[in-house]
Amino acid sequence: MTPSKSGRRNKTGKGRDACAAQMKTRPEGVNLVSSILMKVLALASYPIEAASTRYRVAQFVEPLAERGISLTVHPFLDSELLASLYKRAEWPRTAIGLTGAVLRRLTEVWHARDADVLFVQREAMMIGPPLIEWLAMRLGGCPMVLDLDDATYVSYVSPTYGRLGSALKWFGKTDDLIRWAKVVTCGNRAIAEYVSAQGKKAVIIPTVVDMDRFRPRSLPLTDDVPVIGWIGTHSTYQYLTSIFPALQRLAQAYKFRLKIVGAGLENINLQGVEVENLAWSLDREIVDFQSFDVGLYPIVEDEWSVGKSGFKSVQYMASGTPFVTTPVGACAEIGEANVTHFAARTEDEWYAALAQLLSDKGLRERMGAAGRQHATQHYTVAAQADKLSEVFRSAATR
């Protein structure tokens, strides 16, 4: 392992690594390693509100410190800019904010001089070519580890800004970053296979949660009406709409409430179905998962979706929530079908799976408990921190 670059100036990176500080959940009495042996500079596209930054980077700050690695996190977007990014009517504010973010990113390149490893989560900037990564590697003289939890090498048309947004994304940069990286950490097998085909070393690190924070609810819900729930984003809401016909059929025979979190819409009307529509909230994230009697995880089978890492399955299992998912990509590999969850592709299969869960409370409890046990056995932060620390050490070896 290469020792820390002690001869260079020590930069703390105050402000931009604040997202890492928000993830500190170290139990009382656990001591961090007093002697840091390696410094890693992490450049993420999004702030703490994005799951990719929160769970694939920031939550590893303290576990890695316990393993002798200092991880400093610098997101490209701040929370305010993320909030306006996907609102087309606010494009002037977004344009000004992105300009400032680019200028700030250029100044942060200098932090690479004090790093042993550059850790890039997807991309350093969500627009333009991989200039920042190239500069950081050259100026810092440190190897790069790339993290991919989505198939960012697959191009698409931006639902908010159309072809202009797609052009600004510069989709070809992912292949450049894979080529430059010493190691690529991948959220699932499909991405790892793509990376390996490029001749690069791929290490699968699934997206996980802290099992001490994500837990089954401690008290039963007082409402006798079961809650079928979904949590996502404006871009994944289309997956949920694909099973609306099954949910409408279900409402004709069973009583339930559909809870939708994070769709980005003010009003959602689904004829015959009682809908609770909520904006996503970081403070309420775990509580929302705990409020579901049954979780929904539909996916449309296409090239982009096959590359998704199935993270919602891990969240459902950690929360002790039985769920139904489309067996596509990682979602066909996470958990154990018919034990921790049900798999469904067609409308009839979705209807049958949800009907079985709604009509059998005991089944919901058994399946939720099995999911919780599976998650604690296979998807812990400690196990993935061990793998990530080994990746950094191997990458830093000159």
Report the distance separating Cα 122 and Cα 307, nearest Å: 13
Report the distance separating Cα 160 and Cα 81, nearest Å: 15
Of all residues in the chain, what percent carry a pLDDT higher than 70?
86
Reported pTM = 0.86
How high is the pLDDT of residue 25? 40
CATH fold label, 18-208+380-396: Rossmann fold (3.40.50)
* pLDDT tens per residue across span 156-203: 666 555 565 566 667 789 999 999 999 999 999 999 999 999 999 999
The answer on pLDDT for 35 being more than 70 is no
Residue of higher predicted confidence among 140 and 173: 173
| Alpha carbon separation from 310 to 165, 240, 329 (Å, rounded) | 26, 15, 8
* pLDDT tens per residue across span 241-286: 999 999 999 999 999 999 999 999 999 999 999 999 999 999 999 9
Domains of the chain: which residue ranges? 18-208+380-396, 227-378
Mean pLDDT of 109-138: 91
How high is the pLDDT of residue 82? 77
Residue with tokens 């069973």: 254
Q: What is the DSSP string of 191-210?
A: HHHHHHHTT--EEE------
pLDDT band at residue 12 using 50, 70 and 90 as cut-offs: very low
Report the distance separating Cα 63 and Cα 388, nearest Å: 10
**Per-residue b or e along 357-382, where b marks 16 or more CB atoms closer than 10 Å to that residue's CB:** bbeeeeebeebbebbbebbeeebbbe
* pLDDT tens per residue across span 305-340: 788 899 999 999 999 999 999 999 999 999 999 999
Which distant-in-sequence residues (6+ apart) come within 8 Å of 24 by Cβ? 61, 62
| Common-topology check for domains 18-208+380-396 and 227-378 | yes
* pLDDT tens per residue across span 221-231: 666 899 999 99
Q: Considering the domain 227-378 in this protein, what is its CATH number? A: 3.40.50.2000
Bridge pairing between strands 227-231 and 257-261: parallel
Taking CB atoms within 8 Å and a gap of at least 24, the contacts of 309-313 are 309/149, 309/150, 309/187, 309/188, 309/191, 309/206, 309/207, 310/188, 310/206, 310/334, 311/51, 311/55, 311/149, 311/187, 311/206, 311/207, 312/231, 312/232, 313/341
